[in-house]
A and B are shown apart, each in its own frame.
Chain A
């Protein structure tokens, strides 16, 4: 009955490879997000989808491409991996309703290590 799940939990790969991280939520939320946490624990938004439509696209290299096949899934594909991509990537979900305070629910994170 996991609310927000990510696979894989750990990902070790070499520079230049292409990899994907998958995220699924069973909370019925209409909005999903990807955040990156660097080695200093700083978290920053990368992308957000609302009902399969991209609504937030921060300044990230175009090697990163999110894909949302439906509103319960948001995958992150990374091309030509670089050492600097090593980080923990968190998926989150929420409702995108107006006039209310809505919290985001986070997945367990995917630790990506590029060697």
Chain B
């Protein structure tokens, strides 16, 4: 079984300050992990994915995430928030080969203040 816990339902930052969105996972095997973003009334866009090639993963729009197996965490960060970053962010774990359903976290709403 696999699960994902996003520790904050809502995060508010000021423009230009760092962003930290926290995610913990549970998986009985080596997981495939993703972060997706959903802007208001839009579809889901892949930000980045963990491939096991490197624990620090760089994504689009300046986001990155670090896989920490000892802490079962995959936190999403960005050095400097932009107004356009305001959206819902989902931490996601993928099923095993043959059953690729994604298990989504409950989401974190990022608000960026001017």
Which residues of A are at the interface with B, using a C-beta cutoff of 8 A?
A: 31, 33, 35, 40-45, 48, 55-56, 58, 90, 92, 94, 96-99, 101-109
Which chain A positions have C-beta within 8 A of B74?
A: none
How many A-B pairs with Cβ below 8 Å?
A: 66
Across-interface contacts of A104 in B (CB, < 8 A): 46, 100, 102
Asked if B44 lies at the interface with its beta carbon under 8 angstroms from chain A, I say yes
How many chain B residues touch A (CB < 8 A): the figure is 26
Determine whether B77 belongs to the interface, using a CB cutoff of 8 Å to chain A: no
Q: Are B102 and A42 in contact (CB under 8 A)?
A: no
Interface residue SS majority, chain B: strand
Contact of B43 among A42, A48, A96, A108 (CB under 8 A): A108
Q: Which B31-78 residues have C-beta < 8 A from chain A?
A: 32, 34, 36, 38, 42-46, 49-52
Interface residues of chain B, those whose CB is within 8 Å of chain A, are: 32, 34, 36, 38, 42-46, 49-52, 88, 90, 94, 97-104, 106-107
Are B46 and A105 in contact (CB-based, < 8 A)? yes
Q: CB distance A90 to B100 under 8 Å?
A: no
Q: Are A42 and B106 in contact (CB under 8 A)?
A: yes
Residues A45 and B101 in contact, CB atoms below 8 Å apart: yes
Residue of A nearest to B106 (CB): A42
* Contact A56 B49, beta carbon cutoff 8 Å: no
CB distance from A9 to the nearest CB of B (A): 10
Given A41-B88, A41-B107, A42-B107, A103:B34 Cβ within 8 A: yes
Would A96 and B107 be within 8 Å (CB), given that A101-B32, A103-B49, A106-B44 are in contact?
A: no
- Distance in Å: Cβ of A107 to nearest Cβ of chain B: 6
Given contacts A101-B49, A103-B46, A108-B42, contact A33 B104 (CB under 8 A): no
